Chain A
């Protein structure tokens, strides 16, 4: 990836800010998401809650399904590949996907290495639980970061923890003396140059979204108030009673995340939220995949 390409890919993420990216598994769902105000859709075979229920190995979606979604909507179309599975990424690049999510939600294909994302022209978003993970993914070529949260649970606790951790670590790095950055980089296992950027700018070098466990408009607004620049909603939409209405409410909540009276209004009558699974009660923690 040339420097110019990497810049353009970071800039596409900038255009998505303040928006909601929704998981969809069919062109019909993609259309519902677009009509509800999604700024992009994430194509995948099964939503995380179903992956969790079904178990087994989950992989990149059928390119034909993804192409169907590309035809159905005009907003950017993203899709997931397994951690380390660079051939799935090559396939998605061949069908001109707008963004690849190298995702812990799918079964990892490599338990050591992530994809060398600098070798691609299409952009990548990756999950992270803390600043070190985020900067390691950026060093590998990711041009957008999201919290890992705990996908498919409808439990926001992990996303909150990851966003708070990342932001408090950023504040700590900002407070360091220049001559303390080298050891900090060593401790965090990240390049000094990226830590220098965080130190100088008080933010990640790329856009940072919240993901994993967002189920209600209030969850989305909570993540925005904690510093997320936008929100991914996975199972929360299409596992709920009224997907179209809930999707539209989450979109409005992200725009007016600081306005409690608007949040109150749009939280009314949304029907049933997805059935939550307490993140402490599950056996597979997806967030543990790929560090």
Chain B
């Protein structure tokens, strides 16, 4: 199994390190030729969504990623990645727009609103969640499964091959969200 990590800007190295801990091979996606090799899974990391969505277009990656995702390649989007995958972004521009959710950017305000908490994920036990100028999901389509909520707000969801998270599972020590994504790829959940 080999996972392509979008490496245009943001916290992509943290995802790569987490996957290395789980003995999964990765490669960085910085321009179109990096996708000559078709990945078994894709990760869109945290960072600034405005930067990544612009670079996706400028570097000619936008269309290719869209077609990979709509043809079924499993994808995990964290924070900015969630915004890039959302079909609707309240008061903002959409990017890949492949997942039937509505996102709100910077839903907790500026950096002073960033926080850590613990909440149940995907029907399992509590996991540590780090929110950095994080977005949230305000609406989900009928095929979307809600995987985590914090104070009644949706912070993780899945639609078929697409997994999105408002928080940053790549920052802590707990690999359970990445393990969940690997299980999605192998088809065991």
CA distance A37 to B59 in the complex (A): 13
CA distance A259 to B7 in the complex (A): 14
Binding site for B on A (CB under 8 A): 4, 7-9, 11-12, 14-19, 34-40, 70, 74-76, 93, 96-99, 121-123, 248, 251-252, 254-256, 259, 262
**Contact residues in B for A34 (Cβ distance below 8 Å):** 50
| 23 A-B residue pairings within 8 Å (CB atoms) | A8-B114, A8-B130, A8-B132, A9-B111, A15-B47, A15-B133, A17-B13, A17-B47, A18-B9, A18-B47, A35-B54, A37-B50, A37-B51, A70-B110, A76-B111, A93-B112, A96-B112, A248-B54, A251-B51, A251-B54, A254-B9, A255-B9, A259-B30
**Contact residues in A for B122 (Cβ distance below 8 Å):** none
Please state if B10 and A259 are interface contacts (CB–CB under 8 Å).
no
**CB proximity to A under 8 Å, residues B66-117:** 79-80, 92, 105-106, 109-112, 114-116
Please state if A17 and B10 are interface contacts (CB–CB under 8 Å).
yes
Question: What residue in chain A is nearest B115 (Cβ atoms)?
Answer: A8
Please state if B9 and A39 are interface contacts (CB–CB under 8 Å).
yes
**Contact residues in A for B168 (Cβ distance below 8 Å):** 11
Q: Is B138 positioned at the interface, with any CB of A under 8 Å from its CB? A: no
CA distance A123 to B112 in the complex (A): 9
**Contact residues in A for B133 (Cβ distance below 8 Å):** 12, 15, 76, 98
CA distance A11 to B170 in the complex (A): 11
Q: Is B181 positioned at the interface, with any CB of A under 8 Å from its CB? A: no
Q: Is B12 positioned at the interface, with any CB of A under 8 Å from its CB? A: yes
Q: Which of B51, B112, B132 is close to A121, meaning CB atoms less than 8 Å apart?
A: B112
**Contact residues in A for B48 (Cβ distance below 8 Å):** 15-16, 19, 39-40, 75-76
Please state if A74 and B92 are interface contacts (CB–CB under 8 Å).
yes
Q: Number of B residues whose C-beta is below 8 Å from A?
A: 36
Q: Is B58 positioned at the interface, with any CB of A under 8 Å from its CB? A: yes
Q: Is B169 positioned at the interface, with any CB of A under 8 Å from its CB? A: no
Q: Which 7 pairs of residues, A with B, have the shortest CB-CB distance?
A: A18-B9, A98-B111, A39-B48, A8-B114, A19-B9, A96-B110, A37-B54
The smallest beta-carbon distance between B83 and chain A, in angstroms, is 10
A17-B11, A98-B111 given as contacts; is B171 within 8 A of A11 (CB)?
A: yes
- Looking at B14, B31, B111, B114, the one whose CB has the most chain A CB atoms below 10 A away is B111
CA distance A9 to B171 in the complex (A): 13
**Contact residues in A for B31 (Cβ distance below 8 Å):** 256, 259, 262
Q: Which of B55, B110, B115 is close to A251, meaning CB atoms less than 8 Å apart?
A: B55
Please state if A11 and B132 are interface contacts (CB–CB under 8 Å).
yes
Please state if A122 and B112 are interface contacts (CB–CB under 8 Å).
yes
- Looking at B59, B92, B105, the one whose CB has the most chain A CB atoms below 10 A away is B59
CA distance A144 to B78 in the complex (A): 22
Please state if B10 and A18 are interface contacts (CB–CB under 8 Å).
yes
**Contact residues in B for A262 (Cβ distance below 8 Å):** 31
CA distance A14 to B111 in the complex (A): 13
Further 19 A-B residue pairs, CB within 8 A, beyond A18-B7, A18-B9, A122-B112? A8-B111, A11-B171, A12-B114, A14-B171, A15-B80, A15-B133, A16-B48, A17-B13, A19-B10, A19-B47, A37-B51, A39-B9, A75-B50, A76-B133, A96-B111, A98-B111, A251-B51, A252-B59, A255-B9
Q: Mark B121-137, 1 if CB is under 8 A from A, else 0.
A: 00000000010110000
